[in-house]
């Protein structure tokens, strides 16, 4: 799934890294937005072998969008704003 | 007197307003970085849309709430980005984690919980795939990130949020590919909807707007499965025929369910609400729960929407002031009680018009993942043959994962009750456990 950047997208660009690769985002993106809108498709793998996950509720309730942020540990991608230079890893 | 208010949505803001007016300085905890709740959540800094674009017909109320919060915060111990993950009623302590990850325990003499709600879903095959989200997620993505979750989005669910979101996406230039409303005529026509003519008219306006825009809305229709790769939605129309529509995203949500975990940990007694088919914390009309000094308001106690949340938040704070001997204006309580009673009649009509499609949940295939946290199927829950839901949880781990049963709780109850041939009320509810959300340790 790749969300469409529809409205309010005239925000400064910034770079962060996803699994070591440089990715562009916009200031004000959550990590969930930044990762999915980049075309990366998912934010984590299910621990139970049933495939990739990309969050579900977008409101901090379902706990299905955890990513690892360098220096911050496990974070809900839906509730964490991306910042320049952030190093994010998917599990 | 130490008073803590949890939540800064419509209920929490109006509660704090009454407390501050009475000269109190409550601790005010909000999990999000800012106030407004999910309904009036603000986009992060840097977004430019006006309140009237973001909140539509509710923009005046949204702006009033944001302004009230801005004026109130300095009169409180305002703690945004802070999560309450446990309540210990014995010593009357809240365990919280702050925005920097630090932990703290806060005492309270009186507590108002305005914890909000989330989508109520029915798991279908393929629902854990990327591209499938809650209905509320699609609205949050549009409102706070300016996103459409795909270019061919199917919206499936029931009630006002479904139509509102379909209309908001259409206005934003991304009309949904398909809208499936599980309710149908004539069941959707409830005389009680006349208790709120403006709201009913608004709903009819969305329907007319969608029709003009050529959006396909099917009533009496439910999704059956999401194809691999989220490339299509298989669904059932009102005549029972199976249909298939090409999509690239699917959003699911049949109404909302209250976030009752903290009320549970605080010791509130629960009662079964037959209309919502949910166990909810019992409270008096003013918001007092069974635990003295603990008050509940807003969608976190029972789904009522943001107008009810504002009224109930104010009323709960007045109840607190009454109980503390601070003698608030009794006329205001009476006025609020009347307004709440009127809204409750409308709400009952809405719940009847747009019910949770429990038969769809009860009948889900054995192979469907019921619990997405732990990837456990409906069949495993049925085979547990547990006489009660927490027993089923212990045997299958359904509801034991990171979300603590927030998503799978209601459908799991339907699956187990149907399998055991007992009433949904008898199968019980998943008890709240601490931590109510994952706590980051370092």
Domain-wise residue ranges, chain B? 3-118+257-350, 121-254, 358-420
Arithmetic mean of pLDDT, B408-431: 97
What's the gap in Å between the CA of B72 and the closest CA on chain A?
24
Most B CBs within 10 Å: which of A10, A61, A63, as the mutation test of the B interface? A61
User: Encoding tokens for residue B128?
Assistant: 């854990």
Average pLDDT over residues B182-190: 92
Handedness of CA A36, A38, A41, A43 (dihedral sign): negative
pLDDT score at B79: 98
Q: How high does pLDDT run on average in chain A?
A: 96
Residue contact A53–B130, C-beta within 8 A? yes
Over the stretch B212-246, which tens digit does the pLDDT of each residue have? Answer: 999 999 999 999 999 999 999 999 999 999 999 99
Distance from CA of A28 to the nearest CA of B (A): 5
d(CA B399, CA B353): 29
Q: What is the pLDDT of residue A8?
A: 97
In a domain, A1, yes or no: no
A77 contacts in B (CB within 8 Å)?
none
Number of alpha helices (DSSP H) and beta strands (DSSP E) in chain A = 1, 8
CB B428 within 8 A of CB B390: yes
Q: What is the pLDDT of residue B195?
A: 86
CB contact (8 A) between residue B137 and residue A2? no
Chain A: closest CA distance from residue B404 (Å): 9
Cβ distance A50 to B43 less than 8 Å, yes or no, reads no
- Number of folded domains in chain A? 1
Residue A76 domain-assigned (yes or no): yes
- CATH classification number, B121-254, choose in 3.40.50.300, 3.20.20.140, 3.30.230.70, 3.50.50.60: 3.50.50.60
**Mean pLDDT calculated for residue range B284-299:** 98
For the B3-118+257-350 domain, the top CATH level (class) is: alpha beta
The rounded distance, in Å, linking the Cα atoms of B35 and A54 is 26
Q: At B168, is the pLDDT very low, low, confident or very high (cuts 50, 70, 90)? A: very high
Residue-level pLDDT at B442: 65
Chain A residues with CB-CB distance to B141 below 8 A: 3, 33, 58
The mean pLDDT value for B384-410 works out to: 97
Confidence of residue A1 (pLDDT cuts 50, 70, 90): confident
Report yes or no on A61 lying in a domain.
Answer: yes
Q: What is the pLDDT of residues B245-288, one digit of tens each?
A: 999 999 999 999 999 999 999 999 999 999 999 999 999 999 99
Mean of pLDDT values over B131-135: 98
A3 belongs to a structural domain? no
At a CB cut-off of 8 Å and minimum separation 6, what does B278 contact? B257, B258, B272, B410, B429
**Which band of pLDDT confidence, cut at 50, 70 and 90, is reported for residue A17?**
very high
* Yes or no, beta carbons of B403 and A61 under 8 Å apart: yes
Mean pLDDT of B189-201: 89
Round the CA-based radius of gyration of chain B to a whole number and report it: 21
The residue in chain A having the minimum alpha-carbon distance to the alpha carbon of residue B438 is A63
Disruptive mutation site among B48, B84, B123, B130 for chain A (greatest number of A CBs within 10 Å): B130
Residues of chain B contacting A28 with CB distance shorter than 8 Å = 43-47, 145
CATH number of the domain to which A57 belongs: 3.10.20.440
pLDDT value, residue B299: 98
Measured CA distances, B37 to A8, B48, B138 (Å): 21, 19, 16
pLDDT above 90 covers a percentage of chain B that reads: 95
- Whether residues A1 and B374 touch (CB distance < 8 A) is answered with no
Specify if A23 maps to a domain.
yes
pLDDT of res. B373? 97
- Nearest CA-CA distance, residue B151 and chain A, Å: 7
Nearest residue on chain B to A56, judged by CA atoms? B133
| Residue B202: per-residue pLDDT | 93
Residues from chain A contacting residue B126 (CB–CB below 8 Å): none
Contacts of A37 in chain B (CB under 8 A): 147
Chain A residue nearest residue B125, CA to CA: A50
How do beta strands B178-181 and B153-158 pair?
parallel
Length of chain A: 91
Collapsed DSSP state (helix, strand, coil) of residue A15: strand
pLDDT of res. B191: 87
- pTM for this entry: 0.97
Q: Is residue A74 part of a domain?
A: yes
Query: How large is the average pLDDT for residues B99-108?
Result: 95
| Mean of the per-residue pLDDT values of chain B | 97
Give B-chain residues touching A50 at CB under 8 angstroms. 128, 369, 375
Per the structure, the complete domain to which residue A60 belongs is given by 14-89
Residue B325, C-beta contacts closer than 8 angstroms, at least 6 positions apart: none
Q: Do residue B372 and residue A6 have CB atoms under 8 angstroms apart?
A: no
- What is the 8-class DSSP label of residue A55? -
Q: How far is B230 from chain A (nearest CA, A)?
A: 8
- Measured in Å, how far apart are chain B's first and last C-alpha atoms? 34
DSSP for B348-381, written as a single string: HHHHHHS---HHHHHT--TTSEEETTTTEEHHHH
Q: Which of A10, A33, A49 sits opposite B145 (nearest CB)?
A: A33
Summarised one tens digit per residue, pLDDT across range A44-67 is: 999 999 999 999 999 999 999 999
pLDDT confidence tier of residue B23, bands split at 50, 70 and 90: very high
The strand ranges marked E within chain A are 4-5, 13-18, 21-26, 44-45, 52-53, 66-69, 73-76, 87-89
């Amino acid at each position: 799934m790749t969300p469409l950047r529809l409205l309010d997208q005239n925000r400064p660009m910034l770079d962060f890294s996803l699994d070591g690769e440089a990715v562009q985002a916009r200031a004000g993106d959550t990590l969930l937005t930044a990762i999915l809108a980049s075309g990366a498709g998912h934010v984590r793998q299910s621990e139970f072998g049933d495939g990739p996950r990309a969050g579900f509720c977008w409101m901090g309730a379902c706990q299905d969008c955890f990513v690892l942020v360098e220096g911050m540990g496990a974070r809900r991608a839906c509730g964490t704003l991306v910042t320049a230079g952030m190093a994010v890893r998917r599990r | 007197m130490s008073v803590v208010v949890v939540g800064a949505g419509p209920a929490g803001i109006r509660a704090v307003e009454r407390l501050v007016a009475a000269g109190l300085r409550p601790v005010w905890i909000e999990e999000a970085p800012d106030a407004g709740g999910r309904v009036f959540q603000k986009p992060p800094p840097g977004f430019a849309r006006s309140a009237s674009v973001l909140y539509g017909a509710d923009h005046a109320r949204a702006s009033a709430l944001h302004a009230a919060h801005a004026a109130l915060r300095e009169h409180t111990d305002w703690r945004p980005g802070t999560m309450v993950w446990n309540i210990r009623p014995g010593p009357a302590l809240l365990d919280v984690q702050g925005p920097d990850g630090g932990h703290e325990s806060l005492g309270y003499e009186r507590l108002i919980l305005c914890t909000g709600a989330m989508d109520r879903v029915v798991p279908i095959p393929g629902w854990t795939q990327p591209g499938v989200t809650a209905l509320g997620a699609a609205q949050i993505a549009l409102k706070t990130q300016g996103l459409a979750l795909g270019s061919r989005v199917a919206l499936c669910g029931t009630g006002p949020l479904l139509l509102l979101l379909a209309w908001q996406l259409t206005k934003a230039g991304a009309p949904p590919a398909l809208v499936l409303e599980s309710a149908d005529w004539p069941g959707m026509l409830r005389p009680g909807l006349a208790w709120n003519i403006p709201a009913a008219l608004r709903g009819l306006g969305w329907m007319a707007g969608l029709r003009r825009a050529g959006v396909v809305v099917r009533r009496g229709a439910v999704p059956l499965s999401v194809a691999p790769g989220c490339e299509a939605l298989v669904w059932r129309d009102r005549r029972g025929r199976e249909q298939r529509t090409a999509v690239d995203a699917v959003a699911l949500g049949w109404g909302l369910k209250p976030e009752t975990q903290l009320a549970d940990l605080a010791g509130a007694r629960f009662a079964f609400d037959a209309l919502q088919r949910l166990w909810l914390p019992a409270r008096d009309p003013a918001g007092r729960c069974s635990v003295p000094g603990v008050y509940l308001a807003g969608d976190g106690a029972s789904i009522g929407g943001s107008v009810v949340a504002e009224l109930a938040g104010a009323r709960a704070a007045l109840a607190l002031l009454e109980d503390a001997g601070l003698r608030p204006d009794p006329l205001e309580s009476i006025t609020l009680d009347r307004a709440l009673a009127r809204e409750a009649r409308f709400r009952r009509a809405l719940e009847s018009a747009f019910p949770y499609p429990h038969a769809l949940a009860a009948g889900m295939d054995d192979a469907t993942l019921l619990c997405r946290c732990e990837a456990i199927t409906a069949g495993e829950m049925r085979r547990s043959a547990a006489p009660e839901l927490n027993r089923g949880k212990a045997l299958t781990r359904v509801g034991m994962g990171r979300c603590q049963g927030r998503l799978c709780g209601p459908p799991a109850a339907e699956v187990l009750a149907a399998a055991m041939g007992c009433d949904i009320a008898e199968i019980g509810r998943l008890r709240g456990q601490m931590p109510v959300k994952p706590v980051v340790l370092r």
